[in-house]
Amino acid sequence: MPAFANDALEQRHDGAVVPVNGARLAFTTDSFVVRPLIFPGGNIGDLAVNGTVNDLAMCGARPLYLSAGFILEEGLEMQTLRTVVTSMQKAAASAGVKLVTGDTKVVDKGKGDGVFINTSGIGVIESTEIKTIGPASVQPLDAVIVSGDLGRHGIAILSVREGLEFESPILSDCANVWPAVEALLNAGIEIHCLRDLTRGGLATTLNEIASDRNVCIQLEEALIPVDEVVQGACEILGLDPLYVANEGRFAVFVPAAQVEAAISILKKVDVSQGAVRVGRVEETPGRTVVLQSRIGGNRVVDMLSGEQLPRIC
C-alpha cells in the first residue's frame, strides 16, 4: 500500500510491532464479515475476539486490550446480537484480554450483512531478549510446524452454506492460540516466525512468507494433518484443504535443531495438541512452495488467484 508506506507496515506481518517508550508493543486490527453469523463451533463474535488476539500472538506479544466497532444492520434480531456479544465476552475472558473501548453504528436495512465487527488489539512483547518474530527472521533449513489439523473452520462455514451434514459434525477450530505461543516463549524456543492460517489456508500463508523472504519451502503431503471427515468434505466440495481457512491454527518456523522440543511443548497445550512438522525451508533461494505428494511426485503449491472455486466433476 504505497500511500501509507512506513517501517512498521513494511514488516508485512499479522500485526505491527512498534516501539513506545522503550517497550515493544504489538498493534493489530481486523474486520469480520463472516456469513453465516452463527456456525458450528462458534459465531462472528468468537472470531472477532480470537482473530485479533491471535494476530497479536503471532507477533510474540501477550494480548492485553481490544477495541470493538460494530456496524449493525437495521432489523438484526436482538437474540443474535446477544449471542454474539456473550460469545465475545467469554472469549475475551478466556484469553485474558479486556475490551476497553468500542463503537456501534446502525445502517439501513440492505446496507449491511447483519453484523460487521472490527476489533483492534494491543499486546506487549514481554522479553527484551527475543528477536523480531516475523518473515524477515526466517532462515534456510528452518523447520515448518503447524499447530494442528487443517480445514475445520472453512468446511464448518461451507457445510452450513451448502446444507451439508456429516455423521460427526465438523466444528470450526476458532480458538485463542496465545497459550501455545506463550509456552514456546517461556521455554526459550528460538521462534523465527509465527503466522496464523486464516483466509487462504496454509498454502497462502506459506506462499506469502516464501515471497517476502525469497525462500523456497518444501512440504511433505503425508505429514500434513487433515481430519478424515474434513478431507471427505473437501473431496465432495471439490476443495483443496491446503487452501481452506482455519481460525485456531498457526504455523511456526524454528531452527531444525529445536523441532522436537518445540513440538513436545506444543503438544502439552490444548489448542496445539495436534502439532506436527510438515516441511522445511530449503537452502537454495526461490519464492515457491513445493509439495512432495503422497505417492512421491512433486508439484508446486501456487498462490490462489481469487477465491477457491469447486471443480466441475
Partner 1 sequence: MKFLSEYRDQKAADQFAAAIRKKVTRPWTIMEICGGQTHTIVKSGLEDLLPKEITLVHGPGCPVCVTPIELIDKAVAIAKRPDTIFCSFGDMLRVPGSSKSLFDVKAEGGDVRIVYSPLDALKLARANPTRQVIFFAVGFETTAPANAMAAWQADHDGIDNFSLLVSHVLVPPAMEALLSSENCVVQGFLAAGHVCTVMGFEEYLPIAAKYEVPIVVTGFEPLDLLEGIYMTVSQLEEGRHEVENQYARAVRREGNRPAQKTISEVFEISPRQWRGLGEIPASGFQLRGRFQKYDANRRFPFEGEPARESPECISGLILQGIKKPHECPAFAVKCTPENPLGAPMVSSEGACAAYYHYGRRQKTSVQPELSSPASR
Q: Where do contacts with partner 1 occur on this chain (CB under 8 A)? A: 162, 211, 216, 222, 228, 231-232, 235, 237-238, 282, 284, 286-288, 290, 292-300, 302-303, 305-306, 309-313
In angstroms, give the least distance from the CB of 298 to partner 1.
4
d(CA 215, CA 293): 20
Q: How many Cβ atoms from other residues are within 10 Å of residue 195's Cβ? A: 23
Give the residue carrying C-alpha cell 477465491: 307
In angstroms, give the least distance from the CB of 182 to partner 1.
34
**Which phi and psi (to 5°) does residue 49 adopt?**
-80, -55
In angstroms, give the least distance from the CB of 296 to partner 1.
6
**Residue placing its CB nearer to partner 1 in the complex, 102 or 274:** 274
**Residue placing its CB nearer to partner 1 in the complex, 182 or 220:** 220
**Residue placing its CB nearer to partner 1 in the complex, 49 or 150:** 150
**Residue placing its CB nearer to partner 1 in the complex, 90 or 294:** 294
Q: Where are the alpha helices (DSSP H) in the chain?
A: 7-10, 44-57, 78-95, 152-161, 178-186, 201-213, 228-237, 259-267
In angstroms, give the least distance from the CB of 175 to partner 1.
26
Of the candidates 111, 34, 117, 115, which has an alpha carbon nearest to the alpha carbon of residue 80? 115
**Residue placing its CB nearer to partner 1 in the complex, 5 or 311:** 311
d(CA 239, CA 158): 11
Q: Which residues lie across from 253 on neighbouring strands?
A: 144, 193
**Residue placing its CB nearer to partner 1 in the complex, 137 or 211:** 211
Radius of gyration of the chain (CA): 19
d(CA 220, CA 32): 32
In angstroms, give the least distance from the CB of 167 to partner 1.
15
In angstroms, give the least distance from the CB of 214 to partner 1.
9
Reported as type and span, the H/E element at residue 16 is: strand 16-20
